[in-house]
Structure 1
Amino acid sequence: MALPLRIAPSILAADFTQLGDQIRQAEAAGADQIHIDVMDGCFVPNITMGPLAVEAARRVTSLPLDVHLMIVHPENLIPAFVAAGATLISVHAETCPHLHRTVQQIREAGAHPSVVLNPGTPAVAVKEVLPFVDMVLVMTVNPGFGGQAFIPQMLGKIGEIRGMLDALGSTADVQVDGGIDVTTAPQVVQHGANVLVAGTAIFRAPDGIAAATRALREAVRQW
């Protein structure tokens, strides 16, 4: 099922001394949404942002805010992130023993629900909630840090998830996050991904945010 290609720059790689300006630059460059990585130092070995960062981003952009919760007990903070301006909230299958309930909670709070799979988690782990989500995020690195190398073995999982969604007649997006650049982007799109999270490749590109965003979109144009 052909879905619109979207680029979601991850502010994890942005210059935090210039965050508002860099988000504005990404929007001007044609980004489709802004990806915000929330880490708690427990589920993943790093600590990043919280609802205040989402609220700040909401003040400087009208783009959808795509909030990726890499935290334990995400259900406790979903209301705060929605109130801060999150458009879409992604939760990990690995942290949600009652995944269907958490997905329902996100939608009832007013955001679009998404589920995430770590590299070591099989696609079947989210099979039963696929009818209830608007996106599935396939991690193509192990979560916790930016700038990691893409894991090529995840291509098959991307295709498997897209096939499961198509079999349901679902128009849910398939997002990928980790090591996405002009080389890996065509590969993931060929396998069924349509939302590309890119941090280092955009915010730390030597040619700047605008040129990097254009290059990423051009790399997948033929697909």
Structure 2
Amino acid sequence: MKDSIESIIFDLDGTLWDSTATIAAAWQEAVDQLDYVDRDITAEDVRGIAGMQYDAIYDKLFPSLKGKEREQLQKLCAKLELELLHERGGKLYPELEPTLKYLKEKYKLAIVSNCQSGYIEAFLKRHDLQPYFTDHECYGSRNLPKADNICEVIKRNNVQQAVYIGDTSGDFEASQKAQVPFILAAYGFGEVDAEVERIEKFSDLKRLF
């Protein structure tokens, strides 16, 4: 694989970091500010929606909310989420930065996620990881599915062959639609019911590449 690959594109949540505790705290703060929402938000709740498009998350977690109430909650959650991520960040997976440094010497590195606009930037800035990545794209900036965003990153960086690394079945399906090879981050949040290359820890990428 490594002989033909020019770019490695990563999913974010469950692949590069685990921000579920920070996000849960932000969303709980938002819920506590609104008297028409009565539920607790846990890290497990956030883990359960990992990889979903940002709008779809609210369909799953708050199915009864409609119209202006739903819009208000979504905007407040988004605002507080970014604020808290810039303050606290998330939990980087072991050996993340040394492995990125190694890969950066040979490949263009990018991130494609189904997150809101500003989320990837918070990850990069809070943990000083901007120098390792050539590009990034997300659902929030273009309102397009992950496969389209993978293709966009490949196109605008003039890459002939890339690989996508993610941790959920949605990531795998997006890679298939984008027609790029897939590597499963088996330490992440999800599972893939297919025969795919897999890594048990992030530093395994040194072995593959």
Whether TM-score is above 0.5 comes out as: no
Quickly name the TM-score band, shorter chain normalised.
0.3 to 0.5
The higher-RCO structure (CA 8 Å, 6+ apart) is: 2
Q: Which has the larger radius of gyration?
A: 2
Greater helix percent: which structure? 2
| Alignment TM-score, normalising by the size of structure 1 | 0.35
Greater strand percent: which structure? 1
